[in-house]
Amino acid sequence: MTTHLTDENFEKEINGTDKLVLVDFYADWCGPCKTLGPILEKIAEEMKDSLVLLKANVDNTPQNAGKFGVEKIPTIVLFKGGKVISGFVGLVPEQAIKEWIKNASENPTTNIDEIIERYDNYAKSNGFRLNPNRKVVEGIVNGLLANEKKHGKRYCPCRRVTGNAEEDSKIICPCIFHKDELEKDGHCFCNLYVK
Query: What residues act catalytically?
Result: 30, 33
- Residues 52-88 have pLDDT tens digits of 999 999 999 999 888 887 888 999 999 888 888 888 8
Using CA atoms, how far apart are residues 195 and 174, in angstroms rounded to an integer? Answer: 15
Contact status, residue 64 vs residue 56, Cβ threshold 8 Å = yes
Residue 108 has pLDDT above 60, yes or no: no
Q: Which CATH number fits domain 3-106: 3.40.50.12370, 3.40.30.10, 3.40.50.300, 3.40.50.11540?
A: 3.40.30.10
Contacts 24+ apart (CB under 8 A), 149-158: 149/103, 149/107, 150/96, 150/99, 150/100, 150/103, 156/189, 156/190, 157/87, 157/88, 157/89, 157/190, 158/72, 158/89, 158/90, 158/189, 158/190
**Which CATH superfamily groups domain 112-194?**
Ferredoxin thioredoxin reductase catalytic beta subunit (3.90.460.10)
pLDDT confidence band for 36 (50 / 70 / 90): very high
Average pLDDT of span 25-46: 95
Lowest mean pLDDT among 68-72, 91-95, 175-179: 68-72
Structural domain boundaries in the chain: 3-106, 112-194
Residue 139 has pLDDT above 90, yes or no: no
pTM: 0.60
Backbone phi, then psi, for 132, in 5-degree steps? -70, -15
Lowest mean pLDDT among 26-30, 43-47, 70-74, 186-190: 70-74
Any residues with CB less than 8 A from the CB of 74 and at least 6 apart, and which? 24, 25, 26, 30, 32, 33, 36, 37, 89, 90, 91
